[in-house]
Amino acid sequence: MKNKEYLKTVKSEMPPSRHVKTMVRAFIVGGLICCIGQGISDLLKLAFPAMDKQVNQQFTVLIIIAVTGILTGFGVYDNIGKFGGAGSIIPITGFANSVVAPAIEFKREGYIFGLCANMFTIAGPVIVFGVVSSIIVGLIYLIIGGV
């Protein structure tokens, strides 16, 4: 049997991912997280009617991140992730989880070379892409905006 033939057999014989099931779960969990975020924002608006819209948004994000961090610490968020998949990874909660999880894990190697050095092992690429794309968008805006 040749390599290519074998890889083809593996592809056809091994059980595939259950796309429909994972997509439905991701939709539900992702939607729920967004609803909770909206709820927090609305509650903030109720409690502090004078609050600026942008400040409201920032506070909402801060609260969600803090809650995710705590849930990750207590070992709850990984179960949400196991169930929800992309639904729990895409929202900002997924980002918070990806920073807190390695931080917890690598604390055992010490604060400097463990926790600090490894905190962004998963989130690092996201930050790099975020910064780079913001620079590109900024440059485009500079050029087009100047015209």
Contact residues toward other proteins (CB under 8 A) are: 1, 3-4, 6-7, 9-10, 13-18, 22, 72-73, 75, 77-82, 84-85, 88-89, 94, 97-98, 100-102, 104-106, 108, 122
Asked if residues 86 and 30 have their Cβ atoms less than 8 Å apart, the reply is yes
Residue 92 beta carbon to other proteins: minimum distance, rounded to whole angstroms:
13
Residue 145 beta carbon to other proteins: minimum distance, rounded to whole angstroms:
39
> Which CB atom, from 41 or from 77, has the smaller least distance to other proteins?
77
> Which CB atom, from 70 or from 136, has the smaller least distance to other proteins?
70
* Cα separations in angstroms, 68 against 2, 74, 78, 81: 48, 10, 10, 11
Residue 22 beta carbon to other proteins: minimum distance, rounded to whole angstroms:
7
> Which CB atom, from 41 or from 95, has the smaller least distance to other proteins?
95
Asked if residues 126 and 95 have their Cβ atoms less than 8 Å apart, the reply is yes
Residue 61 beta carbon to other proteins: minimum distance, rounded to whole angstroms:
18
Query: What is the DSSP secondary-structure string of 70-123?
Result: HHHHTT-HHHHHHHHTHHHHSSHHHHHHHHHHHHHHHGGG-IIIIIIHHTTTTT
> Which CB atom, from 53 or from 108, has the smaller least distance to other proteins?
108
